[in-house]
Amino acid sequence: MHTLTIEIPDQFEKKEVLLSIAAQLYQKGALNAKQAADLADVSLNDLSYYSLPESDPAKQLLEPATEYSTTKEWIESIKKEQRYKGFDNNRMRKLADKMDIQEPLEVLLSQLTK
């Protein structure tokens, strides 16, 4: 293994430079994806994202996610983004009564997973 020392001007972030180098080495086949991701200290998803050209439609699918400290925080952000109000059991029962649905709500919901 060789050691390379690079002086990076202050206007560049170390992480961005490492990511750029790692992505280029990966694209040229000098490193495999895992090695390149390790070099840049990023996930394989982030490496794939930064390795794709801007015009590639797959880039939208790989956009780096916002980091959340907990799964609950991530779920709450999705609920807020989608303006989720929660399941209104009373409203559902009123709709079922209006439609004259005979099966209990629990049975109907269990049928959705079959």
Kindly report, residue by residue over 38-64, the tens digit of the pLDDT.
999 988 888 888 888 888 888 877 776
Kindly report, residue by residue over 60-85, the tens digit of the pLDDT.
777 766 677 788 888 888 899 899 98
This model's pTM is above 0.75: no
Sequence ranges of the domains in the chain: 14-65
Give φ, ψ of 59 to 5 degrees: -60, -35
Structure tokens at 70: 């907990």
Do the beta carbons of residue 47 and residue 40 sit within 8 Å? Answer: yes
Kindly report, residue by residue over 98-114, the tens digit of the pLDDT.
888 788 888 888 888 76
